[in-house]
């Protein structure tokens, strides 16, 4: 028995279906274009916001540095004048002593900060390597840096 084909009048024709498909494809392209434009606009807005934030932070940083420099100059001038009066000499001796004290103090502070940072970094590395060693011991039962196990007779192996 052969089946009969359904009537073509029950659904859209091929031309109508193709036209409808084409309209859907064009709509999909428009949706994609809109999505891309929206993402591009968001990215541009985010970049503008970041640039504005960087600009404001730069202005604040310059202002803060200016205040620190102005305050430091006042401290140096006061220290130098005080030392000049203390030594009862000309201002050159006060300026010299103030410079030596300030630069020596700055050098000591920098050396202390570097030493502290290096110590923290060394401790971090030691913890990291000890973790690697314990992980190796867990996986393999020993680590190459461990002392050799004792001989059953009580003497260490060489």
136 lies in a domain? yes
In percent, how much of the chain has pLDDT > 90? 37
5 lies in a domain? no
Read off the pLDDT of residues 4-31 as tens digits, 9 standing for 90 and up. 555 556 788 999 999 999 999 988 999 9
> How many domains, in total, are found in the chain?
1
Lowest-pLDDT choice from 12-26, 27-41, 77-91: 77-91
pTM of the model: 0.42
- 112 pLDDT band, cuts 50/70/90, is very high
3 lies in a domain? no
- Averaged pLDDT, 41-50: 93
118 lies in a domain? yes
From the CB of residue 131, how many other CB atoms can be counted at a distance below 10 Å? 10
156 lies in a domain? no
The parent domain of residue 79 ranges over: 15-140
Query: Exposed, middle or buried by CB within 10 Å (0-12, 13-18, 19+), for 94?
Result: buried
Residue 156 has pLDDT above 90, yes or no: no
30 lies in a domain? yes
Under 8 Å between Cβ of 94 and 83: yes
- 59 pLDDT band, cuts 50/70/90, is very high
**Arithmetic mean of pLDDT over the chain:** 84
Quote the tokens at residue 130: 């000890």
62 lies in a domain? yes
154 lies in a domain? no
pLDDT confidence of residue 86: 82
- Averaged pLDDT, 123-131: 91
Main-chain dihedrals φ then ψ at residue 62, nearest 5 degrees: -60, -40
- 39 pLDDT band, cuts 50/70/90, is very high
């Amino acid at each position: 028995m052969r089946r009969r084909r359904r009537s073509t009048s029950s659904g859209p024709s091929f031309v109508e279906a193709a036209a409808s498909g084409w309209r859907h494809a064009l709509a999909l392209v428009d949706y994609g274009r809109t999505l891309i434009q929206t993402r591009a606009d968001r990215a541009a807005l985010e970049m503008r916001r970041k640039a504005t934030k960087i600009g404001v932070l730069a202005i604040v940083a310059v202002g803060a540095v200016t205040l620190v420099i102005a305050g430091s100059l006042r401290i140096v001038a006061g220290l130098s004048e005080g030392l000049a009066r203390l030594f009862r000499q000309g201002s050159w001796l006060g300026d010299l002593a103030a410079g030596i004290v300030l630069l020596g103090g700055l050098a000591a502070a920098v050396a202390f900060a570097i030493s502290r940072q290096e110590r923290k970094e060394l401790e971090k590395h030691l913890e990291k390597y000890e973790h690697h060693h314990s992980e190796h011991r867990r996986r393999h039962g020993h680590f190459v840096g461990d002392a050799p196990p004792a001989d059953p007779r009580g003497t260490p192996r060489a």
